């Protein structure tokens, strides 16, 4: 399985063999300008790729799987998810100082 990349810096397209990424014998590096993926991002990508491969193999017992993932598609999905998530309210984290003092008084009485 090969993965196609296009460098955001110089727009050069290149492909990388997924198994070589998993084996660690290949990195994501632009052959033109030598831009490279951060090590932590590459590690996370490889872990996700291994999991994806395992799940596709499991599905392959019943289905033939063919897919294409475009970065633009993911960006749209991520922004939709961000819009759907409720914002955290500071009110949930606030507490009344009087409550803390009352709790301290009760603790003192117990001792």
Q: Which residues contact 22 (CB under 8 A, 6 or more apart)?
A: 46, 49, 50, 53
CA 20-26-30 angle, 5° bins: 130
Give the length of the chain: 111
Strands (E), the chain: 2-6, 13-17
pTM summary value: 0.62
Instruction: From first to last of the 111 residues of the chain, give the pLDDT tens digit.
Output: 889 999 999 999 999 999 999 999 999 999 999 999 999 999 999 999 999 999 999 998 999 988 888 888 777 766 666 666 555 544 444 444 444 445 555 555 554
């Amino acid at each position: 399985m090969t993965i196609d990349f296009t460098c955001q810096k110089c727009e050069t397209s290149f492909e990388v063999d997924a198994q070589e990424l998993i084996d660690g014998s290949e990195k994501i590096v632009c052959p033109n300008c030598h831009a490279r993926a951060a090590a932590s991002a590459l590690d996370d990508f490889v872990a996700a790729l291994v999991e994806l491969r395992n799940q596709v193999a499991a599905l392959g017992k019943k289905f033939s799987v063919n897919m294409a993932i475009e970065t633009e598609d993911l960006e749209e999905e991520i922004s939709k998810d961000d819009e759907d998530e409720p914002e955290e309210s500071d009110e949930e984290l606030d507490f009344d100082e009087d409550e803390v003092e009352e709790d301290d008084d009760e603790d003192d009485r117990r001792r």
